Structure 1
Amino acid sequence: MIPIQHRDLEKLAQRHWEAIKNYAEKGTKKFDLKYFDDAIKKYFEGITFEQIVLASPSEIDDLVEIWNAHQCKDKEDFQGFLTYYGYLTNGFVRKKENDEETKYSSKDIVESLNISVCPYCNRNYIKLVETERKVKEEIEVTKEEKVKIRIDELDHFYPKKKYPFLAVSFYNLIPSCKTCNQTFKGTKLVSVNPYSKIEEFSFGLKIENSKFYYDKDGFCIDYERAREVLKENYKVFHIKELYDQHKDQVLELIQKQITYPDSYIDELFKKYEGTFFRNKEDVIRHLSNGIMEEENFHLRPLSKLTHDIAQELGLLD
């Protein structure tokens, strides 16, 4: 698991709120801002709809505690929240002064965060694909119409069915892969929100026998610290089961640590400094086919695992 990091995260959250607010002010009269504020006040004293949408991960945790404490909850009070999430999936449509339509959608959230790889597993790419499918409106109609559909995933950290008031809250919407979102998590609760500051942990290496440098059975990946920090995330997203399938990549790192001594790395860096490589970590990245900077873990699958094992092997300072 990796954190979601962006230098303008608060600005992106504010843009998210503005899109929702503008649509509520100009869109359907059934679900206007007063509707949302009234629904919130029924369960959360002194809290506004805007505060719910912009609530930080820790504030969301507090709101969930309040919600759980209510003995009687009528989820019908929050139908508009779920409806607005449906609008977000397809895009809030607004019109400019020149009557051109503009949209803000879940696709904008993922693209603006510049996340390529799922933060839950750091293994699968997040797909943003536009494609076409053929549909028939009626059985008798033989003419087929092509419509565009988009494939992307936003997980609700706190499931929207159980916590409908968080259906459009920015920090409750986690860009994720389909496997983590639908296959593993679904409506389960997990413990670590990727928008939160994640306690430091690393994947380690345990040597089992002398075959470790040419046989995957000669070593195992140490998950102890990851299990302690990630807790329910570690279980729900099957981190061990998934990562054990990639022991071949760890074996390659072990072999490269043996076959590429420091003198060879120094030679490559000296030869290509300023062209291919900015520093020695760039050389290691080139040799390991991984990303070595923590702030870029979101760009390539298994980048944290690659980084941690490379560091333990002494490939990184």
Structure 2
Amino acid sequence: MIKIQPKRPVGAIANDFLSMAKDTRKGKILLKFDQQLSQKLPAVQQRFLQFLYSKLDEILIGDPDKLSQIIEEAETYPAFQRNTKKLKASLKKIFDYELFIQKQSQKGWNAYWLAAQLGVDTCPYCNRLYTHTVSNEKKDIIRPQFDHFWDKASYPFLAVSLYNLIPSCNVCNSNLKGKAKFSTDTHLHPHLHGFDNDVRFFLNIHDLSFFAGNIQAGTIDFLFSDEQSTIAQKAQNNIRDFKLRELYAEHLDYVHEQVNRSLVYSPEYLDSLFKQFEGTLFRSQSDLIRFITASYVDDSDLQKRPLSKLTKDITQQFGLEG
């Protein structure tokens, strides 16, 4: 898992997101709220909607910790506890995710706009698949799916919350996570944490024949800097729910290639290459490592290419570092 690092400052994205969400020509959320509040509703539902209205800005662009607080408050309201069909219908009209994900439905405020602003090119949950956003002046072409970190069935008022929309691949969102219950108390949230150096991929070699090409003589596992830490405990849940051990077991051939590269390019060989091509092919040691591994290895670049976290950790394990 890697941390989301938007191409634009997240504060600027949030300001634009909020403005467009409330705009009467775009998201229209304020207008929809007013329409629902003007109806004759049961008193308990009215009070809950008034609570959400008072927290609207925080709901739309509050960070994950703020969203957790709002959930705790919401759960104290009888209307939320009863979760009637009428309340569900009201919330769905206000926080209309189906409209948000329609292609070019709300010009300037929709799923394509948000995906492009975040610029996350690989799935943060697995870092195995590309999640590019591609469009042109005439057509929206492709974008990542958006996982609701807090599932929208349980928390429909977070259906279009910026920090509840995690750009992700189809495998992680639809095939693996689905409607599973996540929270910042149980799982790592990609806007807050990645595995970083707290959790690293690690190659266990059970037989030396691995180096000769017998990839079944190795297994990919995770190494925790502190297994008792809160981050490690949450990471274990991410690893379990996204089947990362099982999925990464399919990449042993790739790991074998990276191990061989690490063994071929000794520190002395790296130094000689860098001195020979410094200022032409390579501006830094990181450029040289990227050339050798065909992958990004700086933490700030890991979301640019699939398997970059795996590449970084395995090559460092075997001594190939920038």
Q: Aligning the two structures, in what range does the TM-score lie when normalised by the shorter sequence?
A: 0.7 to 0.9
SS at match of 2:292: helix
The RMSD of aligned alpha carbons is 3.0
Determine whether 1:119 maps to 2:119.
no
Cα distance per residue 1:3-32 (max 9 Å; x no partner) = 112361011012111111113789599614
Give the aligned partner of residue 80 of structure 1: 93
SS at match of 1:206: strand
Determine whether 1:166 maps to 2:172.
no
Query: How far apart in 1 are the matches of 2:26 and 2:252?
Result: 53
SS at match of 1:90: coil
Query: How far apart in 2 are the matches of 1:262 and 1:78?
Result: 59
Alignment counterpart, residue 195 of structure 1, candidates 191, 197, 205: 191
Q: Is the 8 A contact 1:185 1:236 kept in 2?
A: yes
Q: Is the 8 A contact 2:22 2:30 kept in 1?
A: no
Count of residue pairs the alignment pairs up? 294
Identity %: 30
Residue ranges of structure 2 left out of the alignment (5+ in a row): 225-230
Give the aligned partner of residue 273 of structure 1: 278
Q: Is the 8 A contact 1:40 1:48 kept in 2?
A: no
Alignment counterpart, residue 235 of structure 1, candidates 231, 240, 255: 240
Distance change in 2, residues 1:228/1:106 (3 Å): same
Determine whether 1:306 maps to 2:311.
yes
Cα distance per residue 1:121-143 (max 9 Å; x no partner) = 10011143569xxxxxxxxxxxx
Determine whether 1:256 maps to 2:261.
yes
Give the aligned partner of residue 101 of structure 2: 89
Query: How far apart in 1 are the matches of 2:319 and 2:30?
Result: 62
TM-score (norm 2): 0.81
C-alpha displacement of 1:156: 1.0
Q: Is the 8 A contact 1:91 1:104 kept in 2?
A: no
Determine whether 1:5 maps to 2:5.
yes
Query: How far apart in 2 are the matches of 1:81 and 1:61?
Result: 20
SS at match of 2:199: coil
Give the aligned partner of residue 144 of structure 1: none
Distance change in 2, residues 1:42/1:205 (3 Å): same
Matches within 5 A, 1:33-44: 33=34, 35=36, 42=48, 44=51
C-alpha displacement of 1:65: 2.8
Distance change in 2, residues 1:91/1:33 (3 Å): farther
Matches within 5 A, 1:211-250: 211-214=209-212, 215-225=214-224, 228-250=233-255
Q: Is the 8 A contact 2:26 2:108 kept in 1?
A: no
Residue ranges of structure 1 left out of the alignment (5+ in a row): 95-101, 132-146
Determine whether 1:61 maps to 2:53.
no
Q: Is the 8 A contact 2:123 2:168 kept in 1?
A: yes
Matches within 5 A, 1:135-174: 150=142, 152-174=144-166
SS at match of 1:3: coil
Q: Is the 8 A contact 1:206 1:220 kept in 2?
A: yes
Query: What amino acid sits opposite 1:220 in the alignment?
Result: T
Q: Is the 8 A contact 1:24 1:31 kept in 2?
A: no
Cα distance per residue 1:226-250 (max 9 Å; x no partner) = 9744132211211011111111111
C-alpha displacement of 1:219: 2.3
Greater shift after overlay, 122-131 or 214-223?
122-131
Q: Is the 8 A contact 2:21 2:29 kept in 1?
A: no
Give the aligned partner of residue 171 of structure 2: 179
Give the aligned partner of residue 22 of structure 1: 23
Query: How far apart in 1 are the matches of 2:216 and 2:147?
Result: 36
Query: How far apart in 1 are the matches of 2:75 and 2:27?
Result: 33
Cα distance per residue 1:169-216 (max 9 Å; x no partner) = 100001111111111111112322111134632112222122232221
Query: How far apart in 1 are the matches of 2:175 and 2:4?
Result: 21
Query: How far apart in 2 are the matches of 1:202 and 1:266?
Result: 26
Greater shift after overlay, 154-163 or 215-224?
215-224
